[in-house]
Structure 1
Amino acid sequence: MRIAIVYCHPWEGSLNHAILEQVTANLDEHGVEYDLMDLHADGFLPFYDAEELRLFSSGGTHDPLVTRYLGFLRAADGLIVITPLWWNSIPGMLKGFIDKVMKEGEGLSHTVSARGVHGELGNLRRAYVLTTSTSPKSYIRFLNGNAIKRIFMGQTLKQLGVRRSTWIHHGLVRGQAGDGAWARRMRARHARHLERVRTMDFRF
């Protein structure tokens, strides 16, 4: 089994980076191979320039990271996405990853016909989307549009051929600095979440 990991956060000291470390430790322990796409560390440019746009209709690219990333996705059996939620949705870097890496054409990421979008990434049997935010999951789902479940997972990933997706969210990511009771409570809560990720059974 081989897993593609998309990681989207610029700071190594973030909770997201700690989640990434727990995910890779989990996969290592179970002997699961993976390819890591660390968008910020790799220097990925999440936008189209004129040449990239010129190549769009042919499914081509002049960005070697696009070729590399799409190759990882096509070779994988499952997908793990690790990202914060900023302003109610995924960051621009991750949106740009979808915009630029997902190329139309047979043997790429998807095809389009009069009948709609057909995903070419059906090899990705399941996606796990691990998010963090200052907001709890209930707020995001019921009061904030539920963009991750309805759009990112329910539309975008589905259109690419990913049939099953699981969303794991950790909210209230704030106030952990200092020695007060609240800060200690938040740090303990974060530690429990990291342990959950470290020991969870990823099923693809």
Structure 2
Amino acid sequence: MRVLIVFNHPYEMSFCNAILKAVKRGLDEGNHDIDLIHLDNDNFAPVMRGKDLQAFALARTDPERSQQLLDEQVLDYKQRIERADHIVFIFPIWWELMPALTKGFIDKLIFPGIAYDYNSKGTRMFSKLDKLKGVTMITTMNTPSIAYRLLFGNAIKKALLLGTFWKIGVKNRKWINLTYVKFTSDKKRSKWLANLESSFSAIR
């Protein structure tokens, strides 16, 4: 299986980086092909500019012109998500949402003509990612799980798993949310990492 990891955390000593290493170890053990997009190291430009919105507007009526307006980096990422059997997002939750680079990746790549298209009437989306079997989100935060669920409404689940990937027709969607990380013991963190390694070695 070809697994695309989309990673976003600027600090090399972060727990997200430990998660990335555990996921990669597991995928290696399972003999999966790994493609890593490190948004921070790539200096990804997340802001939607006028030409990006022009590309969005043209995607249905003039797809060739729409593609010509996209940045080279976005076109490179496009080819990589099209080859993926599974996409894994790894990022921290800051102020209840994803960091700017992850949001920009969603805005620029989960895009008409790239990740999805519309039916002839323009009333329904469908996925263009024919190889894609599933998407997994792995997130970290310092908020307790119950507070994130009850006070903030599981914002990541609603925005990404439902509002993005369910909407475009990706059937297999999973969210692994590691909470209260700053206050968690090293022993429990190690167990989390071991579980992730085991899970991704067996991913199908």
Report the TM-score range of the alignment, normalised by the length of the smaller protein. Answer: 0.7 to 0.9
Counterpart-to-counterpart distance in 2, 1:21 and 1:156:
26
The reply on whether 1:146 has 2:154 as its aligned counterpart is yes
Could you say what the CA RMSD is over the residues aligned between the two structures, in angstroms?
1.8
Of the three residues 175, 181, 197, the one matched with 1:167 is 175
Kindly provide the amino acid, as one letter, of the partner of residue 84 in structure 1: P
Larger displacement relative to structure 2 (160-169 or 14-23): 160-169
Counterpart-to-counterpart distance in 2, 1:109 and 1:166:
18
Q: Secondary structure at the match of 2:129?
A: coil
Q: Is the 8 A contact 2:5 2:34 kept in 1?
A: yes
Q: Is the 8 A contact 2:145 2:180 kept in 1?
A: no
Counterpart-to-counterpart distance in 2, 1:74 and 1:164:
16
Which residue in the other structure is 1:55 paired with? 55
Over 3 Å counting, the alpha-carbon distance change for 1:54 and 1:151 in structure 2 is closer
Of the three residues 95, 116, 127, the one matched with 1:110 is 116
Query: Alpha-carbon deviation of 1:115?
Result: 1.9
Counterpart-to-counterpart distance in 1, 2:70 and 2:126:
24
Q: How many pairs align?
A: 193
Kindly provide the amino acid, as one letter, of the partner of residue 4 in structure 1: L
Which residue in the other structure is 2:194 paired with? 195
Counterpart-to-counterpart distance in 1, 2:130 and 2:162:
15
The reply on whether 1:86 has 2:85 as its aligned counterpart is no
Kindly provide the amino acid, as one letter, of the partner of residue 200 in structure 1: S
Which residue in the other structure is 2:25 paired with? 25
Which residue in the other structure is 2:73 paired with? 65
Query: Alpha-carbon deviation of 1:157?
Result: 1.2
Higher relative contact order (CA 8 A, sep 6+): 2
Runs of 4+ displaced beyond 6 Å: none
Q: Is the 8 A contact 1:5 1:37 kept in 2?
A: yes
Which residue in the other structure is 1:126 paired with? 134
Which residue in the other structure is 1:12 paired with? 12
Give a deviation string over 1:27-82, Cα, whole Å, max 9, x none.
01111002111100111000123343443324324422211111111111111110
Which stretches in structure 2 are left out of the alignment for 5+ residues?
60-65
Counterpart-to-counterpart distance in 1, 2:52 and 2:136:
29
Counterpart-to-counterpart distance in 1, 2:52 and 2:151:
38
Counterpart-to-counterpart distance in 2, 1:157 and 1:74:
15
Which stretches in structure 1 are left out of the alignment for 5+ residues?
176-184
Q: Is the 8 A contact 2:125 2:169 kept in 1?
A: no
Which residue in the other structure is 1:100 paired with? 108
Give a deviation string over 1:104-142, Cα, whole Å, max 9, x none.
12xx21113432222212422111111100013332223
Counterpart-to-counterpart distance in 2, 1:161 and 1:4:
18
Give aligned-pair identity as a percent.
31
